[in-house]
């Protein structure tokens, strides 16, 4: 099992913005984001997971 680390603050904030933007795109029409809202949220959580697994990210 890989050793987990806390993500840096910038990685956390970027993943949070992606997740909120994806959820918001379900309710409000945002160009490009609304068409791919699910994948924007997935990208945010993948980024957060990578920030926890990879040291220094």
Check residue 45 and give its pLDDT: 97
Distance CA 31, CA 49 (A): 27
The CA distance from 33 to 12, in Å, is: 20
Domain boundaries, the chain: 9-53
Burial class (CB within 10 angstroms; exposed 0-12, middle 13-18, buried 19+) of 52: middle
Task: Say if residues 6 and 45 touch (Cβ distance below 8 Å).
Answer: no
pLDDT tens-digit series, residues 1-57:
778 999 999 999 999 999 999 999 999 999 999 999 999 999 999 999 999 999 765
């Amino acid at each position: 099992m890989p050793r987990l680390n806390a993500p840096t603050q910038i990685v956390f904030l970027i993943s949070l913005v992606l997740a909120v933007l994806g959820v918001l795109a379900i309710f409000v029409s945002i160009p490009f984001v609304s068409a791919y809202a699910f994948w924007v949220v997935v990208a945010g959580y993948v980024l957060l997971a990578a920030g926890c697994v990879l040291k220094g990210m």
